[in-house]
Each structure stands twice: as structure tokens, then as C-alpha cells.
Amino acid sequence: MTRLRLLEEHRDRRRQAPLAYSRLWHSAQTSQRTALLPLVVAGILMLAIVGGNRTGKSELAIQYAVACAAGRDAYVDTPRGRFYWVREWLRTNELPEELIPLGPGRVWVGSPTYGSAVEQIRPKLKTWCPDGTEFRSWDSKTAEAEAQLPNGGAVVSKAYSAYDANPQSWEGANVRACVLDEQPNSRENLTAAMSRLIDQRGQLIIALTHLRGKQDWFYKDLLAKGETWLAIQRLWGEDNPWIPQDRRAMFIASVPAWQRASRDRGETTSPEGRIYPWFDRATHVVDRFPVPPDWRRWVGIDWGGRTAHIVWAAEAPTGKLYVYRELAIRRSTVEPACSDQQLVAEARRLEADAGEAHLGYDRVADCESPGAIEEAWEQGYLCTPIEKFDGSVKFGIELVDAMLCTADPVSFATRIEPRIYLLRGAAPVLEEELECYVWADTREGQKPKPSAGCSDHGCDALRYLVQYRDMMGGR
């Protein structure tokens, strides 16, 4: 009976204070357990825990957030007296007591959006909060949420998208610590978070897999500079004992080669700052096959006397797009330009030679050449002007990127099939552009934009095509 009673008491304590029973992993190379140690070093204002997918970096940061909100003297009452569960978490993981302040406090936890917080961070927080915690607006995908701990501590779920829409939503508060899951969209958002910590001499933790390349502000301004107030700790996927290593290896092998070190070890391995990092010829370029005549055809047109580009794609019943032809005009300045009339005539000839003249096409063209569209109509080559608006380039790029994606965009642990393919040899110029399309080196505060030095006319034609398909109800 005594052993049974002890077991029941253990289960009750575990239910009341789950964090006390968390075991952080440790290896000789990288360690969850030691990753937090820079926070007890004088002068450290910010800790970046950089790691690959499924390394436990977010889990570690969330556990710290709960412990910090509760305070190291937080306890639950048990039949054997007070159980100081935060101290037990520190002791079990060989962490110094000064890592966590005394008494309850208020902690912010940031996510890209409220929706992503509902899917990723809030479930983790709920796992480690003590029994009796009140979860307010916890399932809301449109508003802040708060976990009110029994002793008065609180964890507030924030969103970077809310800052982008209204910077004041990240002002006015006075918090003990701030934990960010993945990087904010701007340096200003990060600065706003750090400014909330001044009164309580708090610290900020950011847990991220850095995939935005070396042109990104976070890499250039922080990771690469070696600021004395910033500590960087890395976690490697191969060291995490809680995940199946065979599955991890399969996932790493499935992503483009340049991403593998990023997704496994958290290294910044995209010096080019690629706009379409998912694109990989081994995956997205497939063997030619006869395109069934009943598949819907889409055509994207980017006008230009010496750099015009037309892309043809067929949509399978599954919704996947297969680029099966391109017309890429590339003429030097000493050669005569290709007129819009000549471009249309050549496009019509290609369609006729392929026996497609009778097919119906959904054509879309750059709207900045209305005369070219009118001239195409006069030749019987009907096309719709693409709708352009503030942010339309970014919107179109994101659509194409989503269709090129080869991993679950939430967990990155599950491989998915892309929805854009190129038939082998059908669009060699577009292949080259997708591989070399990079972001411009912008200054802080500027919106990201493609580099002016890139050849991007095929990318533009594909973007118009995908954006038009989306507008017509395609997903």
C-alpha cells in the first residue's frame, strides 16, 4: 500500500506541476540543458537559440517562459507539504537557481501570427503550465491570449502580424522576459520587444531556424556581428534523443542540398538569399509526358522587346501545374527588338505546331503594356491584364513559393509534394531563373524586393500565371 500511495502522490504532483518532470536533453556537441546558461552571464540582454527543425529549441524557450512567469519559489501543495516545482525543474536539469527570478512575473511569448500561435506555441505552453492555470482567449486566432498562473504570474501570447498592423500593440507593457518563436518581420518589432524589458532588467530569448539567407536583416545585424550583449547557442537535430533519427535523416535528405545544414543544424546557408529556396531541379523538373488535351491550360506573358517571356502550364485534375513550354526572347542591345506583334505571332505558331490551336487557354499578361494586350486581341490572341496592387509582387511570390514547397510549412517534418513542376527541357530559361532569383540587399526598414540584377522575366510570367489562377479560384 505504501508503494501504491507513493505512486499516486507522484502522479498527482506530475499533474499539478508537469514542468518539474521535464528532462532537457544533453550531448557533448550541443545541449538543451546548457543552452540557457548565457542568461546568467552579466551583460547578456538577448539569447538566440538557433537550431534545425525538431531540435527542441522552441520547447526549451517555452519551458523557460513558464518557469520565469511563475518564479523560482512557485509551489503546489501536496500531502507531503509544499512542492517547489520550478526549483525542481532547475535542479533536475542542473541549472543555476539565479536563472529564474523570485516571485511571479509577466512574460511575453511572440509568434508570427495568432493562428500559428494556436497551432504551435499555445499547446506547448498549456503542456507545461501548472494545474489551476486559467487560459484566456486561448483558441482565438485573431487576438492576444493569456495564461494566468495560480500564483499571479502570466504568459501573454503576442503576434508579429499585430505589430506590423499596429506597432502600438507592442508598447506600454512592463514585462519580466520575452520569448520569441522565429524572428519578427522587422528590426523595429524586435526593438519594441526589448524595450519592454528595461524596467525589470529582463532578457529576451529568440528560438529560430534561420532560412532567410545572409541578406536578411537578422543575420546581418545580429548573428553575423558578434555583439557582446547577444549570446548565440546552437542545437543540432542529430543530438536530440527524443526524435526518431532515421526519420530525421530521411527528411534532411529530401530538402535541397543548400538547406540541409540550416534545417539540421540551424546554420545560415543561403548566401544568395534565394527567393524560391524550395526549388530544386532534382525534385521539380520531371520527365516529359504527353499532356492530356482535357487538362486546363494557363499562359503567363511578360512583355519586353528584348526580354519577353511566355510560359505555358497545364493543370492536372489534382491541381498540380506542369510547365510544358516557354518562349524566351533574349536579345542583345545590338540586335533588333522583338515587337509585341512578333511575339504574339510566334506564340500562336508554337501553339498551332503543337496541335493546340483548338484548345481554350486562360492567358494573363503584364498590365503595364495595355497597348500590347490590345494588339494581341486584334490578332485573336485573347489575354487578361494581371491585377496589380500594393504588395502584389510579394503576394504573387508567396503563391509561387507555396506551390514549390516540399515540406509541411508548420512543422517542416513532413514531406509534401510540390504543386508546380517543369517538364524536362521544356523551359530551361525559367529553370535557371528560378534557381538564381534572389532578394535585393535592402536597408533596414525597406520592404524586401527582388534584386534588380536578376533575370526575372520568366519568374514574372510564372507569377502572373499562378496569381491569375488563384484569382480564378484555383488553389
Tell me the DSSP string of 46-79: EEEEEE-TTSSHHHHHHHHHHHHHH-TT--EEET
Distance (Å, whole) CA 150 – CA 129: 10
Contact (Cβ atoms closer than 8 angstroms) between residue 254 and residue 243: no
Q: Give 272's pLDDT tier (boundaries 50, 70, 90).
A: very low
Strands 106-111 and 134-136: what pairing? unpaired
How deeply is 82 buried, as exposed, middle or buried, from its count of CB atoms within 10 A (0-12, 13-18, 19+)? exposed
Pairing of strands 309-315, 321-328: antiparallel
pLDDT one-digit tens code per residue, 376-406: 999 899 999 998 888 888 889 989 998 998 8
CA distance 361 to 325: 14
What mean pLDDT is predicted for residues 203-232?
Answer: 83
Res 269: pLDDT: 57
pLDDT at 223: 84
| Residue 156: pLDDT over 90 | yes
Q: What whole-number distance in Å separates Cα of residue 350 and Cα of residue 337?
A: 20
The fraction of the chain above a pLDDT of 90, given in percent, is 61
Q: Strand (E) positions, 242-392? A: 285-286, 296-302, 309-315, 321-328, 361-365, 384-385
- The full set of domains in the chain, from first to last, is 2-253 (3.40.50.300), 281-471 (3.30.420.280)
What does the pLDDT look like over 9-29, one tens digit per residue?
778 889 999 999 999 999 988
Torsion-angle region of residue 112: left (phi > 0), alpha (psi -120 to 50) or beta?
A: alpha
Residue 234's alpha-carbon distances to 292, 302, 375, 411, in angstroms, are: 50, 44, 58, 19
* Residue in 370, 352, 369 with CA at minimum distance from that of residue 361: 352
Q: What is the mean pLDDT of residues 249-270?
A: 67
Burial tier of 308 (Cβ tally within 10 Å: 0-12, 13-18, 19+)? buried
Q: Cα(363)–Cα(385) distance, rounded to whole angstroms?
A: 9
pLDDT tens track for 18-67: 999 999 999 988 999 999 999 999 999 999 999 877 888 999 999 999 99
Q: What is the mean pLDDT of the chain?
A: 88
Q: What is the pLDDT of residue 194?
A: 95
pLDDT digits (tens, 9 = 90+) for 86-106: 999 999 999 999 999 999 999
